Amino acid sequence: MRKLSVLFFFLLFSFGLSAQYGDQPGWNWPEDENLKSQALEKQAYYKVLMQSDNKEEEALIALRWLYQNTPDLNESIYQDGAKILDKLLDKELTTERRSRLEDSLLWAYDMRIKYFDDPVAALDRKAYTAFKLYYKKPAKYSLLTELYGQLYEEPFEKISDFNHTPYMTVAAYYYKTKPKEFTATDVLDVHGIVTASIDEKISKGGNKTKLLKEQDKVDALLKSLGDDLISCEFIEENLVPKFNAEPNNINIAKKVFSYSLTAKCTDTDYFLKAGEIYMTEDPSPSLAKALGDKFYFSGQYSKAKTYYSKMEELSQTDDDKFEAFMGQASTEAKLGNKVSARSLARKALSVKPGAAEAYNLIGNLYFLSYKDCQAGKSRVDDRAVYIAAYDMYKKAGNTSQMQAAKEQFPSIEEIFNENREEGERVTVGCWINETVTLQRR
């Protein structure tokens, strides 16, 4: 009696699913009515079994019939197959049985790639699934790097964020176990492409906090391989000769530049040369900043200004715009262009109000303007420039520079001798043109 009840329920469920799925778009039911009826029954049957405990083996038998007879029925049969196989793989299994099920699981993703419209999504999931299965099995590292290599040939925006660290993990493990088969250059190539993917996603509005955490993990994996993996000697021996032979080869230039950053070989001619080629072919705010910073700290201010200006043009986020304005402001200050430097610092403040860095820069410009602005007619008026500097340092919260500026304020004797009063408003002329409150030192 119980068996009849179960069968009756199952038949009702089958007819329900027949009505539900039979005419829906995306379902490729066979034209042969007998075959269609069997397919409907098998599809309904495995769905029922999926809701039951310990029925995965029976559900898999029904699915295999669908795979053999209706392989393009619907993407869901492979998605459900993956779920069922995952459950089976959690059980105690013989080595041979486990191996067959793992192969079946990856095969299910291959069928999604073959028959349905979003092959990159299936490849994305296949790579991650394979990683979870095999990341502790050195014999499978070749397969994993091949899978991830295929995935990263696709547009970066289609690759899931959770696949960045696994790719680098496989590269690091492969190198550790078989360095002759998977070389240091191969590891660096993987690090480069994963980093490029993260950078592009951030530039296109991805979750910056989350992506930067992924970048930290990727960088840590690279660092875990030791300092000898990327060294200036490695770059000079393996990449610089190629770069010198093909100076306009963007791929080589990218490697020379990024690896030089990692190995801290930034004081070399090839670093800047590669960076400029890289910037010409594939400009980005981060690259423009790196070049601007390098030229700035080497005293090449005109070139630094050029790259900070390019950074401003390329910037899409407030953080990048702020850095671009501050880079230009600092460069103009070094060139002695105080008015331009202040104007750019104020632009930086418009992007990031209250930024201490910008107020400090303006304070320094004022503090260093005493000789330029000294008229020699009034010590009170001349020394008011330090009060203007003090006000900027106060906004920056820079107490040490506030004290340094205060020590240069007019003395009480100077204020008294000129018949002035503390608290009165004083206009600082020259290029500064600020009004301050008179204070004594």
Residues 256-294 have pLDDT tens digits of 888 888 788 888 889 999 999 989 888 989 899 999 999
Same domain, 102 and 19: yes
- CB under 8 Å, gap of 24 or more: what pairs does 278-283 form? 278/250, 278/253, 278/254, 279/307, 279/310, 281/250, 281/253, 282/250, 282/254, 283/310, 283/314
**pLDDT bracket for residue 238 (50, 70, 90):** confident
Residues 417 and 386 in one domain: yes
In this structure, the answer to whether residues 39 and 87 fall within a common structural domain is yes
Q: Are residues 307 and 396 in the same domain?
A: no
The burial of 413, by beta-carbon neighbours within 10 Å (0-12 exposed, 13-18 middle, 19 or more buried), is given as exposed
Beta-bridged to residue 426, according to DSSP, are 436
Last residue of a domain, one of 117, 142, 166: 117
Of 316, 333, 353, the residue at which a domain comes to its end is 353
Average pLDDT over every residue of 204-210: 90
Residue 207 located in a structural domain: no
- In a domain? residue 105: yes
Q: Are residues 319 and 424 in the same domain?
A: no
Burial (CB count within 10 angstroms: exposed 0-12, middle 13-18, buried 19+), residue 153? exposed
Question: Which pLDDT band, with edges at 50, 70 and 90, does 1 fall under?
Answer: very low
Of 364, 367, 334, 330, the closest CA to residue 345 belongs to 330
Instruction: Report the C-alpha gap between 345 and 21 in whole angstroms.
Output: 64
Give the mean pLDDT of 87-108.
91
Q: Which two tokens stand for residue 253?
A: 């230039």
Residue 27 lies in a domain: yes
Is 208 part of any domain? no
Residues 10 and 69 in one domain: yes
* Residues 372 and 430 reside in one and the same domain: yes
Residue range 41-62, pLDDT digits in tens:
999 999 988 888 888 888 889 9
**H or E segment to which residue 434 belongs:** strand 434-437
Q: Which amino acid is at 420?
A: R
How far apart are alpha carbons 19 and 22 in whole angstroms? 6
* 13: in domain: yes
Q: 17 lies in a domain?
A: yes
Give the number of other CB atoms < 10 A from CB of residue 248. 10
Spatial separation of the C-alpha atoms in residues 123 and 146, rounded to whole Å: 12
Q: Which domain holds residue 374?
A: 364-437
Mean pLDDT of 213-241: 86
Q: What is the mean pLDDT of the chain?
A: 89
* pLDDT at residue number 24: 66
* Residue 256: inside a domain: no
Distance between CA atoms of residues 15 and 399, nearest Å: 80
What value does the mean pLDDT take over residues 66-70? Answer: 91
In this prediction, residue 254 carries a pLDDT of 84
> Helix (H, G, I), strand (E, B), or coil: what is residue 437?
strand
Instruction: Count how many domains the chain has.
Output: 3
In a domain, 330, yes or no: yes
Q: Are 385 and 373 in contact (CB under 8 A)?
A: yes
Last residue of a domain, one of 319, 353, 387: 353
Is pLDDT above 60 for 255?
Answer: yes
Q: Are residues 326 and 373 in the same domain?
A: no
Mean pLDDT is lowest, of 96-100, 193-197, 226-230, 333-337, for: 226-230
